[in-house]
Amino acid sequence: MTKLVTIYGGAGFVGRYIARRMAKEGWRVRVAVRRPNESLYVKPYGAVGQVEPIFCNIRDDASVRAAMAGADAVVNCVGVLTERGKNSFAAIQTDGAGRIARIAAEQAVEQLVHVSAIGADMQSDSVYSRTKAEGEAKVLAAFPKAVILRPSVIFGTEDEFFNRFGKMAEKSVVLPLVGGNTKFQPVYVDDVAQAAVKAVLGQADAGVYELGGPDVDTLKGLMGEMLVVLHRNRLVLNLPFWVGNIMGGVLSLLQSMTGGLFHNGILTRDQVANLRVDNVVSEGAKTFADLGMAPTALQAVLPDYMWVYRPSGQYDAIRESAKNMNI
């Protein structure tokens, strides 16, 4: 009988790559999301009826249970970068994660994979990082044999990291950064997906894996690499953390004053707190090597999707070449 995996957040940035790989493995894939009508793009990842988006709200027991009915394996990719309405860090990353793990244990699911983040720490000054750690603790308490993946900042075609700065570089001569000296270890989204699939297939021991790419660089250094790909010269301005706190406070105040009509997805004080800590694989942690994988380098992928922010887009290289022609 064909096996079934339920992927919570399976239409999101990371989840869609996991869904595609699980379909290729021949599994039926149930993509549990809040807006299934906006997630129909996942259906062609497999044969007709193999990949199906369904409604689920991970804040509700009955919803989570219904989405998991009959599943052989479960993957939780749900997380929030900023709080909005009832989707707080605690509701999604702590309680939601714990709810999925508890119900998976109740339903005797064979494998549970939980996607967390490097920096998850109960003692962190960042609520985001604390709730990630609290979520991990609830997952392991309910489902001790779970596999937890902690990626560093994830890059890929649909990312919200390089694409955000690419858009800024396209429109401004200055790239303002908070935490420009903070180190990151960017990891390719499809590598994270492959790690999750290995865990679903039982090819990974239970425990926590920290996933980082082969290269470590500061945020400022990463912006320099990106600008080379973009063929643009920009001033990368490293702002002090206290300036970031003021900016985050003002933007969040504006969100409150507008009743949420303006959503602060730009910079929050919690993100500033996160940026004070390096986002790299810890010494002694389980890594890609323990999964038998070699992660993809940033420069092997970045030009494939960041060309859209070049001065002449896909024709930029042709224009540069044409300048050397003698006519």
Q: What's the rounded Cα separation, in Å, for the pair 92 and 131? A: 9
**Is the model's pTM score more than 0.75?**
yes
Q: How far is the C-alpha of 54 from the C-alpha of 239, rounded, in Å?
A: 43
Has residue 260 been placed in a domain?
no
Residue 268 covered by a domain: no
Question: Is residue 324 in a domain?
Answer: no
Show the CA angle centred on residue 86, arms to residues 261 and 136, nearest 5°: 130
The residue written with tokens 């990719």 in the block is 77
State how many domains the chain has. Answer: 1
Residues in contact with 248: Cβ distance below 8 Å, sequence separation at least 6, in sequence order: 264, 267, 268, 269, 270, 271, 272
**Residues spanned by the domain of 198:** 4-159+185-215+278-295
User: pLDDT of the chain along its 327 residues, tens only?
Assistant: 899 999 999 999 999 999 999 999 999 999 999 999 999 999 999 999 999 999 999 999 999 999 999 999 999 999 999 998 899 999 999 999 999 999 999 999 999 999 999 999 999 999 999 999 999 999 999 999 999 999 999 999 999 999 999 999 999 999 999 999 999 999 999 999 999 999 999 999 999 999 999 999 999 999 999 999 999 999 999 999 999 999 999 999 999 899 888 999 899 999 999 999 999 999 999 999 999 999 999 999 999 999 999 998 888 877 766 766 665
Closest listed residue to residue 129, CA positions, set 277, 249, 233: 277
**Listed residue (46, 26, 109, 22) closest to 73, CA to CA:** 109
Residue 196 forms part of a structural domain:
yes
Identify whether 239 is part of a domain. no
Q: Could you tell me if residue 68 is inside a domain? A: yes
- What's the CATH code of the domain at 106? 3.40.50.720
Q: Is residue 269 part of a domain?
A: no
Tell me the residue length of the chain. 327
